[in-house]
Structure 1
Amino acid sequence: MRRDLPYALSALALGALLLGNAALAPDAAAVGAVDVVLVLAMTVALAACRRYPVVALGVVTVAMLALHVRVHPGVSAAFPVLAAVYVAAWRGQRAASALASLAFLGGFLTRDISTAPAGHLVVERTPLLLGWFVAANVAGLVARQRRAYLEQVEQRAIEAERTREEMALRRAGEERLRIARDLHDSLTHSISVIKVQAGIAVHLARKHGEQPSATLLAIQEASSAAMRELRTTLDVLRSPSDEDRLGLARVDELAERTRAVGVPVRVTVAGEPRELPAEVDQAGYRVVQEALTNVARHAGPATANVHVEYAPARLTVSVTDDGQASPAHPMTPGVGLRGMRERVTGLGGTLRATANDDNGFTVRATIPLDGPGATERPREVPPARRAAEPR
């Protein structure tokens, strides 16, 4: 209701202006009860023109033409119609606003022409009214385009912020896993060697009937405590976060965000969706995410098709668009495409990214469900080092 209040106040002001002008104009007829009803109808219609632009435009046009024929208040009868035409054009009803403009101009000028004493006014009023109505239609269209542009800019800003947050989370997760790998490959090995050597020394001392020294026992205990703390640290670094829980179940969210920036997206799923290994599920999500991002940035006016196929032994995801890419102008692989390829090949899969023969681009990733990253497998280590591996 608050958004309709400015329209209602403007309509009341126009109604008062019409009645006052009709009462003061020297060539206007007396205002009767029917004329007051016409002004009230115009006021109510203008108050509701934001929600019902076409209906309001029709009521205002008919009411003002009738008032002009009955009372002849002058060009002031065009003011409410101009306001309704502007709102209708702003709301996207271009045909209705143009038709109402022509209808009112035709009826208004016909009445003036038919009135012999006022025939000379037609030459003066025709260009004036014509300019007003053209300006109202153009202003409404410009206002609509500006609003659409601002909404698009706002949506792009929101999408850019969301993308930056996701990239920051992904980089933080990758850095966390890199630190965990470095700790596991370097520090864990060194502490394990210390622990094993201390344990062997204690065992040999007791085997020869000697009491291990306090220093040796302290080294054994400290290395065991260090291993426990290091395992806890590695568990924390490798623990799943919100970033790591992203999977193909959220592909519809990606599609909706891409539609919000003006790219139509269709998602199809073949096979029975099921629980996938976490690495495979996240890799499939990332391929779709990066491919849709590239469509939005580089494909120009295009439509994207996302296809997810669940097979018994593999997962296949593909994103195809009908944008500007072509075999004659191949795309230079960027960081995102290289990242997709590394993620997929790291799981034993394959990724194909190429321009289509009939324009557009296709990204297709096939990931085996029993690849190297799909399941946790024990590593084969030499017997001398098995006791040194963290458990």
Structure 2
Amino acid sequence: MPRFLRPLDRAVTYTRWLHVLVGCVAGLTCASVYGMSDARVLDLFVGFFVLPVPLGVVAGLVPAMRRAEGLQARLMLFPGAHARGAAGPHGAEPTGPGVSVMPSASWNERFRTALWLVLRIEAGSATAFVTWFLMGQTLALIGATAQERTADPALFLPVLGEGPWWTDALLVPVPLLVLLGFVVAVGHFMTAVAGRLLGPSPAQRLAALEERTEQLLERNRIARELHDSIGHALTVAVVQAGAARATADPAFTERALEAIEDTGRHALEDLERVLRVLREDGQPGRRRPTLVDADRLLDSARTSGVQVEAEVTGPVDRLPGPVSREGYRMLQESLTNVLRHAGPVPVRVRVAAAESLLTLDVRNALAEPATPTGRGGSGLRGIRERATLLGGEAHTGPHEGDWRVRVELPLT
């Protein structure tokens, strides 16, 4: 289909046409009250284009009118499913049409809404006259064609009706094409103006951007938690299953199955909690694990064959919630990193909660000194990101013949 004919195949072209035509209702009402019987051109101009202006200004100053006009514009002026979607709490939608659906919050927004209503009334009246005139010309040409050589007085150029009938038949589509071109142009114009006059204010745009940023941060946090929890559970399961098959000891196999079951149960609890957050079903979620629950991580590592030497000092149970939760995830990822890359090697874990600083230190022997464990892994990168977000710092890498993960998090 040629490019200039593509708009004729789009539904939004005709919804825009209808949206613009609705604006002439105010002009038609005022003209009817003013009187249209035997009206002159000046009377029609006053009735349709002058008298409705004060009504549009007054209506635009009502805060709720901005919301009503924004909803109509979203639905009828903009193509795509986003035009029918619910707007965010701040009325702005970064990926959709730039039209606010919130009531006017300032006089600037009220004046812009009033200007939009006046423009819509004027454009609606003009479009109604053009539609009426060009549709009338189309019907007149059809009539002239049927009467054969008899000029139709409704024709803008009556001389057309005096020629051969087939000339009138060929001209029948011309007014329709002109009308459709006019409709496409007016629709594009009104859509562009709607973005300027009904668009969100700078404060609304900033609020929407901040909300979007918070959503992305929450998604990143959820992704990290899933990586840590599910990754730890799968690593423990793989290590335990491999060790049980290698030893062929029924007692060890029983303990390995218990460890796999316990780790899998905790991973399922974490997964269910995260899914509840994603669904936002309003049901209370389970408590997120903290460093108070560190014993279950240490026990899980021990049952996997790792010799864990742990030292926990200080009031761990009185740590700030975010610090304690993120510290648990860092410890979990550190132990998972040991199981995944070094295997059942001795590990020294030290958790020290002081008055203003939490220190987490995990060291393990390198399985292959030439190949440091976990170098460049996403888990270690996640540990560093968590520490940075909490205002602390994390160091990972070889240290005195061991692999060390050291995290320092401020408590103030």
Normalised by the length of structure 1, the TM-score is 0.37
Normalised by the length of structure 2, the TM-score is 0.36
In terms of Rg, which structure is larger?
Answer: 1
